[in-house]
Structure 1
């Protein structure tokens, strides 16, 4: 195998994360042709097929995913070392690193983070937004201090505790025919254009099962991996959806109609911490503030959001 360079590996990692050479170029602050050249050199070096070219996107092969997983572990170690050195230079350990699922990252966690920094002058915070699976991976490798995720992961490297137990709510565009109905039932959405959460999310299958059991047909024309994008589609009049309540409530001020849904589709918010080390006082204090604010949100939500 030809000799690999760090720059080739870096370009491959960026393409895997961004999905396109253009996005990778923006991440690395280099030109798109430079990324393509580095990626080509990397493929020549490893001598296994890494991508299938489909239109403008690069679809990773299983071999590419295996390489990426191995590279990601190495990068996490390098980034952790660099961060520790930076903290030593600044004589500052007042840093809180949070990995958060998109459902809480749209408005809720940024708002709480600002409040927390005002209460704790001089600290710094990092917020990275990823899916629940990646959040769990980062917590298990001690890359972050706190994780916020939807799924409970059985991993001895992770400590998990519930932040809130809730259920999905129905969201409608302004002026929708059901806007005055107190509670939405599955048959109310017969033949509606329905914006689904993508198949990568387990809650998608729970929602589909509710409508299948009720014998209700929906027009399945749109899906997205992120609940706040579903809210944006609905707000624009593209259809209706079921999403988590914290995200939905943050869109009410923009005119989104949010209603309880009769069938219970659970959606849980979990706090996770690395199990291999004690939880820092900063992390404990931030978690306490999160619990207080999410309870207040539940109490003030006019029965849209009930904590279990």
Structure 2
């Protein structure tokens, strides 16, 4: 097989225009070159790739099947070139063309989507990849370089990352709207006697603390259901039981899920949340852009 030479995009652009216009005359007019220039470019391309793309018949060019396939490849290439332009603009303006974010579930369902929306309002061409996973996995994912920045439930430790505390919230109790406790001003630890609890099936600060309080106060519950945090709110709404949870998730859920009321819990305990990223990223435009678009406080703290 002879060696393939494609040293310039010009001949591909000429071919694309010729394929779309149907005649060398129209292609020359659209490109602002001579008809002979179109013909020379096509002949050079066919020579370089080692095959004919058009059949010549009575001064007409009839596209061969090979031309159709090459055209589709060129269209994909042009799309990639446009994407490269956007990448270069983002690199010039923001120091990066994409942002890979990962979050613990507590912030992942509404708080971080708000951040992403703010960033894309500034630059709609920014490419963002976002995922949700438990805080320990968030730390490992950012340490390994699979993500640029992460949002975690504190405390976490890492020698390789900068950890910045963002804010602290007080845990609340989510209760089915038709539950006897729904009318209470607040829920105390003693109110959990003989209640069914809905708790996360992964390590969770609130679950750990409430179970410890239950044990310390020798309170007997009727049982517990462990579930993914995304399902906990639906379980509560369906009357399975009550749950202790961070207010960000709780209030975000009430916005879309009926059948739940939210009450303060006593004794109070708190969640703290933080932003993590590699030390080498501390002065990058990407991290600065991210910090500038973090809401000062979640909406639930302003209620």
TM-score by length of 2: 0.64
CA distance in 2, matches of 1:179, 1:242: 14
**CA-CA distance at 1:94 after TM superposition:** 2.3
**CA-CA distance at 1:287 after TM superposition:** 2.6
Name which of 240, 250, 253 aligns with 2:252.
250
- SS of 1:298 mapped into structure 2: helix
2:102 corresponding residue in structure 1: 99
- SS of 2:197 mapped into structure 1: strand
Query: Residues 97-246 of structure 1 correspond to what in structure 2 (within 5 A)?
Result: 97-198=100-201, 200-226=203-229, 228-246=230-248
CA distance in 1, matches of 2:271, 2:207: 11
In structure 2, the CA distance between the partners of 1:178 and 1:217, relative to structure 1 (3 Å rule), is: same
- SS of 1:114 mapped into structure 2: helix
RMSD: 2.2
Contact 1:167-1:244 within 8 A present in 2 as well: yes
- SS of 1:215 mapped into structure 2: coil
Q: Structure 2 unaligned segments of length 5 or more: list them.
A: 1-82, 91-95
**CA-CA distance at 1:89 after TM superposition:** 9.7
- SS of 2:125 mapped into structure 1: coil
Q: Structure 1 unaligned segments of length 5 or more: list them.
A: 1-85, 302-308
- SS of 1:268 mapped into structure 2: strand
CA distance in 2, matches of 1:117, 1:214: 49
1:267 corresponding residue in structure 2: 271
- SS of 2:273 mapped into structure 1: strand
Name which of 276, 280, 285 aligns with 1:281.
285
Contact 2:167-2:297 within 8 A present in 1 as well: no
2:61 corresponding residue in structure 1: none
In structure 2, the CA distance between the partners of 1:133 and 1:287, relative to structure 1 (3 Å rule), is: same
Indicate yes or no: 2:291 matched with 1:292: no
- Runs of 4+ more than 4 Å apart: 86-90
- SS of 1:191 mapped into structure 2: coil
- SS of 1:229 mapped into structure 2: helix
Equivalent residue pairs, number: 213
- SS of 1:261 mapped into structure 2: strand
**CA-CA distance at 1:156 after TM superposition:** 1.6
CA distance in 2, matches of 1:89, 1:290: 24
**CA-CA distance at 1:270 after TM superposition:** 1.0
Contact 2:171-2:206 within 8 A present in 1 as well: no
In the TM superposition, what whole-angstrom CA distance separates every residue of 1:92-117 from its partner, at most 9, and x where no partner exists? 53211101111111222223312321
Contact 2:205-2:271 within 8 A present in 1 as well: no
In structure 2, the CA distance between the partners of 1:131 and 1:88, relative to structure 1 (3 Å rule), is: farther
Contact 1:156-1:275 within 8 A present in 2 as well: no
**CA-CA distance at 1:171 after TM superposition:** 0.3
CA distance in 2, matches of 1:199, 1:286: 28
CA distance in 2, matches of 1:89, 1:298: 37
